[in-house]
Amino acid sequence: MPRVVVTGMGVVAPIGIGIGPFFDGLRSARAGVDRIASFDAGRFPTRIGAEVNGFDLDTTGLSDRERSALSADPKSAFGVTAARQALAAAFGDVPISRCYPEERVGVVAAAGLEIFHLDDLVPLFSDGAIDGRALRDHLFDTPVFTNLQIPADLGARAIARLTGAGGMVQVNVSACAAGTQALGEAFLAIRQGVLDVAVTGGYDSMLNPLGVGGFCMLEALSTANDLGPGASRPFDKHRDGFVLGEGAGFCILENAQSALARGATIHGEVLGYSSSMDAYRVTDPAPDQAGAIRAMRGALASAGLSPAQVDYINAHGTGTRKNDPAETRAIKKVFGSRARQIPVSSTKSQIGHLIGAAGAVEFIAGLFALNEQLLPATINLVTPDPQCDLDYVPGTPRQATVEHFMSNSFGFGGQNACIVAGQWSP
């Protein structure tokens, strides 16, 4: 089977736009969480988020037509921008069509949903309380055609036009696992000979009244508004929920033989991938962590690696009361006695939870560890939780030898996805 390598990366994130600024943010353990500025969140219990700052459609290099199409949908604009960065890193000024036939080029993306008239929802929230009945009545009584606003594949179609992709174009909307699933499905398409190259990743933004309000109803978000940058605190005893973020991450995955033939720079090799489903509850992980365990073990088997060969795990690590100990237990079951020797960190402590884009951006954080030999930190981890007793790289990044890493995504609805990558060795 063909080997699959990463030849380009692009990021739009709360701690930096572009790979250079994003990597600088990881090196300095910078926090991207602050008071929400894009809309008035004063009516909500949660008033903090990890927003992308300094993003300007007019300076992204997009055409007038692209800017016009994407101006109403920030998440798709983030995605197209990150994809353009990745393409430029992988191919420079050379059009991808000069390197590959269009039918061998694909786009596999992850996205979130944003399909409602958001301004109509604001009156449903007042004084920090949410009128759940009014929200439900609005969603179910409003005619469907007035709600449908933005196709889920808007960004993916724009990327396909940008690349001239004539192969498979696929969009995953599987919540928090979507980004990792997109990368994994692109990896499988190349490994199975369906594609030679894929532009793959995720984009999302739920920092709007519906997104924040909906997660507040689920009581999933941190309400530690006064902590600001310190509010996203995975694995900490005093964590009280995740912080919503926004952004995008894209990679160029290529058939290794083709990439080498054109003299591409290789940033790592994708080795294995697996996905599973808990089929338990929408918001809770399965009590026995069976789905998460299945996904991690499946990714290792796909990669042909033993637990002893994993040097770093980029955790799902949301900062919720249930997820963090559940993921900890799953890692222990998969890695056994070695679990406490493997550094595990959560990038969400810095950038918040990017939902559909989370897995893609966190995979790039894993590539940072692989190429820089520097582990991203779990910032804001001050008071250890006895239930979370692994090495979470608290506070500051750490030098380490990283040959292989795993990236976990365990999402709402019981979606689980894991991907494994390693140093490129011809």
DSSP 8-state code for residue 377: P
The last residue of a domain, from among 226, 261, 296: 261
> Which of 99, 216, 267, 316 is the catalytic position?
316
Q: Which 3-state string (H, E, C) describes 109-175?
A: EEECCCCCCHHHHHHHEECCEECHHHHHHHHHHCCHHHHCCCCCCHHHHHHHHHHCCCCCEEEECCH
With both helix axes pointing from N to C terminus, report the angle between 178-191 and 358-372 in degrees, rounded to the nearest 10: 70
138 is catalytic: no
Are the C-beta atoms of 351 and 196 separated by less than 8 Å?
Answer: no
Q: Are 171 and 46 part of one and the same domain?
A: yes
Are the C-beta atoms of 311 and 403 separated by less than 8 Å?
Answer: yes
pLDDT of 137 reads 53
Is 186 contained in some domain?
Answer: yes
Q: Are 22 and 119 part of one and the same domain?
A: yes
Is 20 contained in some domain?
Answer: yes
How far apart, in whole angstroms, are the C-alpha atoms of residue 187 and residue 391? 29
267 is catalytic: no
Residue 366 token pair = 């894993």
> Which of 216, 251, 267, 353 is the catalytic position?
353
Query: pLDDT tens digits, residue range 306-330?
Result: 999 999 999 999 999 999 999 999 9
Q: Are 254 and 282 part of one and the same domain?
A: no
For the chain, how many structural domains are there in total? 2
How far apart, in whole angstroms, are the C-alpha atoms of residue 259 and residue 104? 13
Query: pLDDT tens digits, residue range 234-287?
Result: 999 999 999 999 999 999 999 999 999 999 999 999 999 999 998 777 767 778
Residue 388, Cβ density class (10 Å: 0-12 exposed, 13-18 middle, ≥19 buried): buried
pLDDT of 285 reads 76
> Which of 176, 216, 251, 388 is the catalytic position?
176
353 is catalytic: yes
The last residue of a domain, from among 221, 239, 261: 261
Q: What is the CATH number of the domain that holds 211?
A: 3.40.47.10
Q: Are 255 and 303 part of one and the same domain?
A: no
Model confidence, pTM: 0.92
Is 267 contained in some domain?
Answer: no
What pLDDT band is residue 402 in, cutting at 50, 70 and 90? very high
Maximum distance among all Cα pairs of the chain, rounded to whole angstroms: 61
In which residue are the tokens 């790979």 written?
Answer: 19
Asked if pLDDT for residue 145 goes beyond 50, the answer is: no
What's the domain range around 103? 4-261
